[in-house]
Structures are given as structure tokens and as C-alpha cells.
Structure 1
Amino acid sequence: MARILQLDEAIAELVHDGDAVALEGFTHLIPVAAGHEIIRQRRKDLTLIRMTPDIVYDQLIGAGCARKLIFSWGGNPGVGSLHRFRDAIQNSWPVPLEIEEHSHAGMANRYAAGASGLPFAVLRGYAGTDLPEQTDTIKTIECPFTGERLAAVPAVNPDVGIIHAQQADRAGSVQMWGITGVQKETVLASARSLVTVEEIVDELTPRPGAVVLPQWVVTAVAEVPGGAVPSYAQGYYERDNAYYQQWDLIGRDREQFESWLETEVFGAERSTR
């Protein structure tokens, strides 16, 4: 049975310096509150993994938590660049950042292989790009049946997989609905997993198209209402588009970012004491 923990307890127990950590979400259900708690606990030397790192990864990078990013696209959705990410790449501020870039299909297949207990995934992909020359974890293999040349990528198996969902029951089974990405695969591929949820309920009500993660594949659940803000949680709240626009201005300037970090992340910790 998954354990029900407070968010700070879960991060303290599950996320360690030097871990490979995946915080996955697609369009909505992005585990922002969990990312902020990782910053608050001053984790460092993390390998951050995500198909589409957006502003919470910009914040983690700017706070000096990351030494490497494994990804397939990075940006402030609908707005533009991630300026803390860019500063780390171009100027090594606040610490140098190594990157490992893949395609979306490559990353999705890596998660699927990890979730399936396979060492690597095979796909038709990367043709016509220079990614195989830039990324050591893309190889070419020959199909033993047809002789076709295919791309091979290693499985992703994070030390910790973190996602956000709408509901969990008191035994720790999780249900999410709406647009989903590789959240299920992230949990199944990871050595340890944390699911933050909008609410814990007595019983999960079946929903068409929902993804259910049973209690025995989840390490811990934390009830965190609003845990995906400023992204949205279908059925609970809408996306805060203004936040993403404001982040472009905050993220551009180191001093503004550090002020934001002190007020909105570390200040939030002090306000609860």
C-alpha cells in the first residue's frame, strides 16, 4: 500500500542529492508544488528528466538544483524561452548544466522501455536530424528480421518519478483524467514514486478514459490542493495564463529571479512555521 505523507516529508525521504528525478505532466497536472519543495529543501546535483520541461524546470535549474537535463523540448509554453535554462547553458549560472536531447518519440519510448523492464527501445526516428551526432544515447541497430536500420535509445529509469493527479483513495491508489502524457510510464519506470493529488477520497469513482495507478506501484501520495498551479487540473481549476507571461519577465533577470525565489519559495516555508 502506498503511504500517505505530507509533501515535505515525502520529498525529504524520496529525493536525494545526485538523484535522477522525473517530474512529468503534459499541459496540465504538472507537479509544480513538488518542484518547489525540492528547491526549498535545497537538493543539488540532480539529473532532471522530462519530455517537455517548462517553467518549474526553469525554476529548479535557476535555483541550482540541476547538473543535467534529459529532455526533448524546453520552453515557456505559449510565451517563449526559459531564461534560467538558457543562462545555465550559456553562462554556467548558477552552476553548469549538461544536456541530453532527444525527440518526443524517443523520450516516450525510453519511458515505455523503462516501465516494461526492457533495457532499450527501438523506433523509426531521428532520420534527417543531427541528434544522433549530438547525443550519445542514440544508436543505430539493424533489425534481425528485415535488415532495416532503426534507432535505439536506452530505457529511462529515474530514481524518483513525481506526478500530479486529481485523486487518490486512502490506500494510495491514484486516478487522473483529461490530457495525460507519460505519467503512468514515469511511475512504473521509477525506483521510487510520489504522486501529489488535489484530494484524497474514500473511494475512486470510475471515469471514462481515466488512468488508474494501483496502490502497489506508488511509493507515496501527498494531498496538495492546487499542486499543479499555474498549470491546470481538469475538473478543479484552469490554467493561469498570466503567470506564464509574468514568468518571462522574472526569469530574464537574475536579481528578479532571486527575489522571486526568496519570496515565493523560501518565504512560503517561513510563513508556515
Structure 2
Amino acid sequence: MANVKNRIKKRKDALKELNELVQRDSNLLLIHYSCESFYNIKDGRTPRITSIAVRYYSTGQTVSFSIHKVAEKQGKLDRIEEHYDELEREMLDEFFQFVTSHNNYNWIHWNMRDINYGFEAINHRYSVLGGTPVVIHDKNKFDLARKIVDIYGTNYIKEHPRFEKLVDKNNITKRDFLSGAEEAEAFEKKEFVKLHQSTLRKVDILHIIVDRIIDNELKTDSSLREVYGLTPQGFYELVKENWGYNLFIFLLGAAISGIVGYVITVLMS
């Protein structure tokens, strides 16, 4: 019983937090980024950041930062590999200028939580290249991947990679979407435009996922038991969160009223 209560509390807290973020959407951003493969680096350095996409939740407008865009401005599109450090540094300069002017915003992300892949990884790369990162406070970060577990349970998608399988489950278009292996291949082939397009697509998908959670329309592999548990409180939450709640209350009230009316009629006859 205690586990079920904890499960329901975590679900309610996560939904409440997400709803509050969306209600204050004028300062809400979604972020995703692409980087060099972790597994193809032989010299021990951290992966290069290749592109970052930031989307305003309220308007759907996206701001992006990428190596190839900087290279185009500098006339070095055909010599990106020769100027990796310079181009990556300039891209991150632009990104952290954006962070500085949006430091009071909330940031929705997917698993961006450590030095391998996350805000800390971006900060570290900028430091390596001689920059001074602007830290986004943890209280302003919302890890959608973890919150989905709180909302739908650990089995919300039973196969990996979960992000891609969730996209498939919900029939979200994957135009320009690259898997992890495809992104690594694109980097090796210097296909930076494809990497950038994939990053843009993924931040768009994050927006769609958030909207579907808010509208209670996200499809998952979780059973109702895994989400709510088989308890009176779980049943109450299930009914309350779905379209039939008001109908259920109405029918229940009508039934009780009818029974009471019948009993009174019998007693008075």
C-alpha cells in the first residue's frame, strides 16, 4: 500500500510541476543538442558539441547554434575539420550569450544530467576551449525523461532506446531524426547539416511529448495497474484524470439520488 501511495504521489507531483511550467510558458524553453560519439574518441577528451537547439514553448520558435553555421559565416565550410576548436568555441560563445539573457527561464530537456551528456558536458567543453560557462541552476531544469518515469512508471517504454521507441509508439514523424548510431556516423562523415536538422527535429518532438502529457494523450507501454495501482485511491486518480470523471460522478450521484428517492417512497407508502 505504501509503495502505491508513493507511486501516486510521485505521479501527481510530476504532473503538477509540468502543468505549472506550461502555465508559465512565457519563460519556458526546451533544449536538445548533438555531439561527437562517446565511443569513437581515442585520445580521452570529451565529445565535441556539434549543434544545440533551444525552442520557446510559448511560440514554437527555435534558436539554434551549430558548428556549420559558424563555419558558413566565417567562410570555412570546406575546412571545418581544420578549425574544430575555433568553430566550436564561437558556437558556444553564442550559446552562452543566449543563456545569459535567459538565465531566469526554465529548461525542459531529455537526460541532460551529467558529464557524458548534459549541461555539465556543454559547460566542460566550453571551459576546455577557454570559455567561462554561465551556469543554469538545477531548480530551473526539468528532466522530462525522469519525470515520465514518475508519471507512467518504469515500464512506460519496454524497449531501448526509449526516446526513439516513444516517438514510434506515438506515431510522431521522424523526418530528419537520426538515431544515436546515425548521429555518430553523420559526424564521422562530416555531415553537420544532418546533425543540426536532427537536433532541431528532436527539440520539436520534446514539445509534442510535453503537449501530449498535458492533454493526457501520450501513449505508453504502461498498464493502468503500473500507472495507478489497484487501490481505491488509484481508481479515484484514474477516473479523475480521464474524460469519464464528470460523467462517472454524475451517474453515481443520479444513482444515489434514485436509490434514496426510492427508499423514501417505500417508507412513506
With normalisation by structure 1, the TM-score equals 0.28
Q: Which has the higher strand share?
A: 1
Larger radius of gyration: 2
Q: Which has the higher helix share?
A: 2
With normalisation by structure 2, the TM-score equals 0.29
